[in-house]
Amino acid sequence: MRSTLIRRVVISAAAIGLTVTAAPAVAHADAATVNRPILVALKVQGPDGKLFSGSVITKGHDVTTATGGTHKCDGTNGGANATPGATPTAALDSAARAHGFTWDGVWYPSFDDYFVDTIKGVKLDPSSAYWNISVNGTSIPVGGCQFHLKPGDAVAFTWTPIVAS
């Protein structure tokens, strides 16, 4: 019985030692990959058809709109994530810069995020439509500057009419 107790103590100590020594290496490896440029697919669908479709290299970055000004858009907005990374709105901004189109949005400090209202000249009437943001076919549950993307994600901004209930 005593040898069983000693064995348990030795095994437990070894496990704790491995955990403690491995933890800093894992944390460092994760930190090294934070906010690296990633490739995503972006599609923008307006009320009359496709406005943009293509691959985009993006990462979290400061975004500037005519109406909203310049603000970070890196997934840390509103405390959504602890570390910065690529976001749907940053991907839209990267595509606009790379492909020569514009977009605009109002900045809401209380949400720490943009409300996109215009893409490629298609402006919303916020009482009747909005730009739905989805990733891999699912509407995102937070703002476009708060959702972290992964390499290969399919991002869509889709003009969506508001349906009266």
Task: Kindly report, residue by residue over 33-92, the tens digit of the pLDDT.
Answer: 579 999 999 999 999 999 999 999 999 999 999 999 999 999 999 999 999 999 999 999
Contact (CB, 8 A) for 49 and 3: no
- What pLDDT is recorded for position 33? 52
Amino acid at 134: S
pLDDT band at 23, cuts 50/70/90? very low
19/45 Cα distance (integer angstroms) = 48
- What pLDDT is recorded for position 34? 78
- What pLDDT is recorded for position 164? 78
**Does pLDDT of 10 surpass 70?**
no
Residue 95 tokens read as 């595509």
Residue 21 φ/ψ, nearest 5 degrees? -75, -30
**Does pLDDT of 26 surpass 80?**
no
Amino acid at 145: C
129/145 Cα distance (integer angstroms) = 20
pLDDT band at 138, cuts 50/70/90? very high
Task: Kindly report, residue by residue over 79-137, the tens digit of the pLDDT.
Answer: 999 999 999 999 999 999 999 999 999 999 999 999 999 999 999 998 999 999 999 99
CATH 2.40.40.20 fits 36-161, yes or no: no
Distances 66 to 72, 105, 107, 115, 116 between C-alpha atoms, Å: 15, 8, 10, 13, 11
